[in-house]
Amino acid sequence: MSQWADLPKELLEMISKRLDLRVEVLRFRAVCSSWRCSVSPPSFDQEIPPFFIKLPPPIRAPDPIFADAVLMQTTICRMEFLSNYSNSSCSLSKSSLVKVGESKHGKLQLFHPISNQETKDSFISLNLLDLKFVQLSKACLLKWPGGISVFGINKVVVFPLSASCIDNCELGILAIYHEGKLGYWRYGDKEWTLLDDRNFEYDDIIVYKGQFYVVDRWGTVSWIDSSLKVIQYSPPLYGCGGQKNLVESRGDLYVVDRYLDGERRTWKDYEDVMDTNDNPLRFSRFMSKARPMAVDFRVYKLDEEWGTWVDIKSLDDRIFILGIDCSFSVSCRDLSGGKGNCIYFYDSLYEGRGMSGGAIHVFRFEDHSIDNLVVIPEFSEIFWPAIIGSSA
């Protein structure tokens, strides 16, 4: 170790600048005292400056003192153990999925990749020198300063205007809100910009190969150019499912069509109840009404040469993860206890109740079965720690 500890500070600084993840900087600093002194602790607010975001009306804060929301970014990683882990309660042999949250003073927060449930003290017994983090995706979520997720915002991605946006705070976000509207907000704007005033049925948004893509409830995929123009990219899917998600897998873009056991709410339902400022009972009934649950899935990939949709019958070794704020795919061969050809997703019976109102489920392609993770605990081994969701 003495030879490594005596490396020139200039060389250590060069190495640290090549580290992609801020958690890797923490691992770097954990090697020895000389390495720790050569590099400052990473700022978990460096990538996205802290600022308050105006919300599209009629969204209202639960506390009038906090009228604006805060943008929270997390990173979904594959956490690999580089040496034998001494904790006998840990069954990891390959790697597991974790969501690393932004925190102050070099402290990390872990969240479940699907439900966003925070894992308390999960790093207490982990040695960062034994771990390697491989970034898979990033996710954004709008929260009130008190930590509660903003009701009415369905999906958020960061939309930088230029390479220097981090320095001058010229930062923007794209969001699907009010159950289907597509909007844009830039730092300093007083109002949101509605990007499509003819279609209020958007379901999902994703960053794919450095470009922003959206899909609506009919399965039409569009991309958003630098001038914020929405340009149709694919023909309509006309799938019979009630909700669409976009997932990138091995460089290809997929549409996941989720079949539901009832009708979804629309932007009109949402705005009608949010406009009733003097009727809290009506809003309470709206929030307590059960949401439709998934009963089946179909997956499609666009044949760009022929401009047609291909119905995918098997995902082979791939696992699709449909989280609350991010969707991505992994190979089961890279994960501890992983089983391929399935979709993990979160179903919430009631809006805004978190894990108490929903649960993580697994859809298996071979028989189109859907099970709560509670009854198939072996499927939870791909996450760290292997927390099993509510049985609701």
Query: pTM of the predicted model, to two decimals?
Result: 0.83
Confidence of residue 159 (pLDDT cuts 50, 70, 90): confident
Contacts of 196 (CB under 8 A, 6+ apart): 182, 202, 230
Residue 369 has pLDDT above 60, yes or no: yes
Enter the tokens of residue 35: 């390495």
130 vs 277 pLDDT, higher one: 130
Q: Is 224 helix (H, G, I), strand (E, B) or coil?
A: strand
Position 308 scores a pLDDT of 85
* Contacting residues for 382 by C-beta, under 8 A, at least 6 apart: 96, 97, 319, 330, 332, 335, 336, 337, 338
| Residue-level pLDDT at 53 | 76
State yes or no: pLDDT of 12 exceeds 90: no
Q: What is the DSSP string of 26-51?
A: HHHHTS-HHHHHHSPPPPTTSSS---
Give, to the nearest 10 degrees, the angle between helix 267-274 and helix 280-288.
Answer: 150
The model's pLDDT over 177-208, given as tens digits with 9 standing for 90+, comes to 988 999 999 888 888 999 999 999 999 999 99
Q: At residue 20, does pLDDT exceed 70? A: no
Q: What is the mean pLDDT of residues 232-239?
A: 88
- Give the number of other Cβ atoms within 10 Å of residue 333's Cβ: 10
Task: Count the neighbouring beta carbons within 10 Å of the beta carbon of residue 181.
Answer: 23
pLDDT band at 354 (very low <50, low <70, confident <90, very high): very low
341 vs 187, which has greater pLDDT?
Answer: 341
**Helix, strand, or coil (residue 107):** coil
- Condensed to tens digits (0 to 9), the pLDDT of residues 284-327 reads 566 556 688 999 999 999 888 888 899 999 999 999 999 989 99
- CA–CA distance, 392 with 389 (Å, rounded to integer): 9
Residue 392, pLDDT > 60, answer no
Check pLDDT > 50 for residue 44: no
Per-residue confidence at 115, pLDDT binned at 50, 70, 90?
confident
Q: Out of 8-12, 209-213, 256-260, 347-351, which region has the weakest mean confidence (pLDDT)?
A: 347-351
Assess whether pLDDT exceeds 90 at residue 123: no
The Cα 340–Cα 317 span in angstroms is 4
Task: Provide the 8-state DSSP code for 308.
Answer: E
Give the mean pLDDT of 367-380. 91
Does the structure show a pLDDT above 50 at 168? no
State the pLDDT confidence band at 100, using cuts at 50, 70 and 90.
Answer: confident
* Whole-number Å distance between alpha carbons of 283 and 189: 29
Instruction: Check residue 188 and give its pLDDT.
Output: 81
Output the DSSP codes for 120-135: TTTTTT--GGGEEEEE
